[in-house]
Amino acid sequence: MRSQTEVVHPAWLRATHWLNALAVVVLMMSGWRIYNATAFLGFAFPKGITLGGWLGGALQWHFAAMWLLAGNGLLYLGFNLASGRLWHRFFPLSPRALLADLLAALQGRLAHADPQHYNAVQRLAYLFVMLDSVLLVLSGLVLWKSVQFPLLRELMAGYEGARRVHFFAMAALAAFVAVHLAMVALVPRTLLHMLRGR
């Protein structure tokens, strides 16, 4: 059994996690307002869930929060790599373990006894959101300074392609957040660990 004094999430992880959540909320809501200015997919987001009031205001919010996301994300990845935590928390990850944990989760019998250990579904979801965030930043760089990043721009099939990559990566991030919050609601103890560290 785990001792109550054992640290589950170190302070740097909790700080970067909550700053990241703040950046994502601001980026998403202001991003929806920016999208509405040229709704290239034929629908608009309701104004009430957007941030910035108008295109110029939304861009200011978006540009401010992008520095927070990128800087904070680099700190998170840097600490995770330097401490070796990335490898022992998220690997190994095999298709077999993933299938077994997915089946167990669907049957409501996935164990949560040890909060130090992420199951295979959590590992995949968290690795996915890390890569998705990198894709969001890279496609965002093309939209921000497309002339300065010609290689990235061409890899994303030009400016219009990068717009779509950015939008669908945002949609994947929104889907992750919805599932993530549902999981936290199902196992509220994990929220205490992410707030208090133990």
The contact set with ligand HEM (CB under 6 A) reads: 13, 17, 20-21, 24, 89, 115, 122, 126, 129, 173, 177, 180, 184, 190-191, 193-194
Tell me which long-range contacts 35-40 makes (C-beta under 8 A, separation of at least 24): 35/167, 40/163
In angstroms, what is the minimal distance from the CB of 144 to ligand HEM?
20
DSSP state of 4: T
Shorter beta-carbon distance to ligand HEM: residue 180 or 198: 180
Shorter beta-carbon distance to ligand HEM: residue 83 or 146: 83
Half-sphere exposure of 20 (CA within 13 A, CB side): 21
Quote the distance between the C-alpha of residue 16 and its chain's center: 12
In angstroms, what is the minimal distance from the CB of 102 to ligand HEM?
16
Environment class of 165 (CB within 10 Å of its CB; exposed 0-12, middle 13-18, buried 19+)? buried
Shorter beta-carbon distance to ligand HEM: residue 55 or 174: 174
Shorter beta-carbon distance to ligand HEM: residue 88 or 145: 88
CB within 8 A of 54, min separation 6: which ones?
Answer: 33
Are residues 40 and 159 in contact, defined by beta-carbon separation less than 8 angstroms? no
In angstroms, what is the minimal distance from the CB of 177 to ligand HEM?
5
In angstroms, what is the minimal distance from the CB of 48 to ligand HEM?
19
